[in-house]
Chain A
Amino acid sequence: MFRRIFFLLVLIAVLVLSHPSQNALSFTVFNSKGEQVDPEEYFGQYPWHYLHWNLNKFIEGKVENGKVLYKINPHGSDDIRDASSLIAAITESSNAWQSVETTAFRIENGGLAILGFNEYDNSNTVFWDEKGGIDPHALALTKLSWDSQTGEILDADIGFNGFKVNSLEWKKNHYIQFKIQWTMEDIQKFDWLRRKFIANVQATLTHEFGHLLGLGHSAVAEATMHVPAPNDNTSQRSLESDDREGVTFLYPYWLSFVEGNPGIPGDGAFINSTYKRIYGNPSRGWHDAWSFRLSNPIPLSNFPDSITIIAFPSPQDFQNVDYFQIGIDIYSPIACYSFPGGTFGGYKSTTLYGSTQGCLTKFPNIQHLLQDYDPSCGVTANDVFITDLEIKGHTPTGQFYDITTLDAALFLASPSLRIINIDPATVVKNQEVTLTLTGAGFQRGFTAAYTDESMPGYSFFPSNADYVDTTTLKITLSIWPGPTSTMKMFIRNPTGEVATINFTALASP
């Protein structure tokens, strides 16, 4: 008899214990249609398919200096009189996301903004609606706007319901209305006697900030982005591993491409890059690899004769590595190509193998990537962009090498100095103008000069010449009065390379 009871109880316990637990990473993101999708299902596609902020793009009042800015409606919350504490709680919520070690996501308080849900007010606004403008059953709402072709978020506003929750049914056919009372105390609960739902600002806002940066909901019960908010605690103020994985997926940590100075990020940076450990999730059985997403896609035309080099500051770290495998994702907005292996919209992945000597991996001309495009489309090297580099190191023992240093410097071999464009291409003589030169291989310490075909034998110097980065220069000049003529701009690098471009100067009126 006891034995039967024992086995019955064991059976019950096994059934309870075998209830499916959701402990796998399961963050979701929004695709460019605004639908929540599992990143794993889209594995292999470039993350730009997801909604995200382009931290390198300047959007006045919203993205500046690589940071997403949010502004707070000065009215604050009727429930919280201490404005500084409220701001501190909001700051804590945003800091939770940017303090994740492996993410490049940065967010900052940008001041005050008076409007609420408004896409055109140069502000990502956090506000409290005290008049019932927000759906009366929502605690808080996030509204996102984005570019449906790039997935780049253009605006995000977060509205808190400071009014009430309309008649919730608490017992069959018995309704009760709740006033929402916002608090910064460490509580979140229903107060039945006073008909209030006491809601913790930080717990709610941390979740909403997750939406603001492009995350959807998660199936992991412990995650801050889990669908239901706990009604009895404030645990959503801090992030769990699933949340951290999500923000890292969308905004991998920054590294810099540097020319000739591995380990000194930002020094003469040709282009900024990011890494992500897309294969490095042991729970999913992926192997280690690193992917460097380029913050600014590089036109293939930048590499007419170049090689790609991956360098790390300590070659000793890699002396046992027999090769690096480099995957390159390239993209063309002109989706007109055919190649073996299929297409992903305008994206295409390809893998190159290079010979590794110590810390360097070299590649021959990569212009052949263009050959995959249908020639009848007229796609040129200017229309194709390198978007993503993926590195897999391989040791003689057959193990994939786990690159752990954050100081790794990754750079593309310095492109030869070239000027691709000058803007404006036509100026008027005797008027001051600032020209923007774009190209490749510009170096700090460059010198600029120009000649006028109507004044042969003379060289002129601009009043100002600024180095912006290796792809951009700003030249300010005022050309001597004279007839309409062709001008030639000379740019000389400290290394001695010289490039020129012509522009037109019209006779002054």
Chain B
Amino acid sequence: MKKRKLILFFSLLFIFLTCSLLLVSMSRSSIVFKLEGTTLAEEADLILIGLVKEGVSEEIKEEGGIFTFTTLAVQEVIKGPVISEIVIKEMGGTVGRRASMVLGAPRFFKGEKVLVFLRNTGGGFFSVLGLSQGKFSIVKEPASGREMLVQDLSGLHFIGEEPQQQDKIYLEDYLQFLQSLSPK
């Protein structure tokens, strides 16, 4: 009988400790400035899949720094007017020895296939929404050959959310999700 009471006592103690730990870890999660897919889709002027044709960095002194103009050959428009080519203008880049960046801004690589959420910044240019949150690289999963979305958010500083291992996102699933949200 005494032994049972002892076991019961330790069991309750463990329940208490376990719950406390879970509560502590949960208290770190909350509403964040991180953008969900629905928010990205809601705010984007243009959502498209494209191939990076080229990126050219230019020093524009009157605008205060180096800017990179990335030209995308548009393959599919998910939201916005149908166009064949767009230019994304972002702060940062490299001209000669001088380099600059906005921490967390997206980077594009020639030949890269991307899904981008863009906002129209005027002058015929677009910028990526939510810094690198609005850019996904499209890569093929080696095993299945299916196209997946990959995001580099390492330079971003989110409010209140621990970085989490992202589940695999397949392009076709994500497109279905987007198309259900915002018709062309």
Instruction: Report chain B residues within 8 Å CB of A116.
Output: 64
A-B CB contacts (within 8 Å), total count: 157
Do residues B157 and A229 form an inter-chain contact, with CB atoms below 8 A? yes
> B8, B65, B133, B162 — which one has the most chain A CB atoms within 10 A of its CB?
B65
Do residues A229 and B159 form an inter-chain contact, with CB atoms below 8 A? yes
Do residues B155 and A12 form an inter-chain contact, with CB atoms below 8 A? no
Instruction: Report chain B residues within 8 Å CB of A154.
Output: 98
Instruction: Report chain A residues within 8 Å CB of B32.
Output: 228, 231
Residue B115 is within 8 A (CB to CB) of chain A in the complex? no
Residue B36 is within 8 A (CB to CB) of chain A in the complex? yes
Instruction: Report chain B residues within 8 Å CB of A119.
Output: 64-66, 100
Residue B33 is within 8 A (CB to CB) of chain A in the complex? yes
> Assuming the A-B contacts A137-B133, A148-B94, A148-B99, are A6 and B10 also in contact, with contact meaning beta carbons closer than 8 angstroms in the complex?
yes
Instruction: Report chain A residues within 8 Å CB of B99.
Output: 32-34, 145-148
Do residues B33 and A137 form an inter-chain contact, with CB atoms below 8 A? yes
Instruction: Report chain A residues within 8 Å CB of B83.
Output: none
Q: Is the interface of A mostly helix, strand, loop or mixed?
A: mixed
Residue B85 is within 8 A (CB to CB) of chain A in the complex? no
Interface residues on B, range: 35 or more
Instruction: Report chain A residues within 8 Å CB of B162.
Output: 221, 227-228
- Segment of B15-23, B73-81, B166-174 engaged in the interface with chain A: B15-23
Q: Is the interface of B mostly helix, strand, loop or mixed?
A: mixed
Q: Shortest distance in angstroms between A22's beta carbon and chain B's nearest beta carbon?
A: 10
Cα(A36)–Cα(B155), bound, Å: 8
Instruction: Report chain A residues within 8 Å CB of B131.
Output: 135, 137-138
Residue A230 is within 8 A (CB to CB) of chain B in the complex? yes
Do residues A16 and B39 form an inter-chain contact, with CB atoms below 8 A? no
Cα(A88)–Cα(B17), bound, Å: 42
Q: Mark B1-31, 1 if CB is under 8 A from A, else 0.
A: 0001001101100110110011001011011
Cα(A149)–Cα(B96), bound, Å: 10
- Segment of B47-55, B101-109, B136-144 engaged in the interface with chain A: B101-109
Question: Which residue of B has the minimal Cβ distance to A225?
Answer: B157
Do residues A169 and B64 form an inter-chain contact, with CB atoms below 8 A? no
Do residues A144 and B103 form an inter-chain contact, with CB atoms below 8 A? yes
- Segment of A160-168, A370-378, A391-399, A457-465 engaged in the interface with chain B: A160-168
Q: Shortest distance in angstroms between A49's beta carbon and chain B's nearest beta carbon?
A: 14
Closest 4 CB pairs of A and B: A231-B160, A118-B64, A145-B100, A9-B14
Interface residues of B (CB under 8 A from A): 4, 7-8, 10-11, 14-15, 17-18, 21-22, 25, 27-28, 30-33, 35-36, 38-39, 42-43, 61, 64-66, 91-92, 94, 97-104, 129-131, 133, 154-163
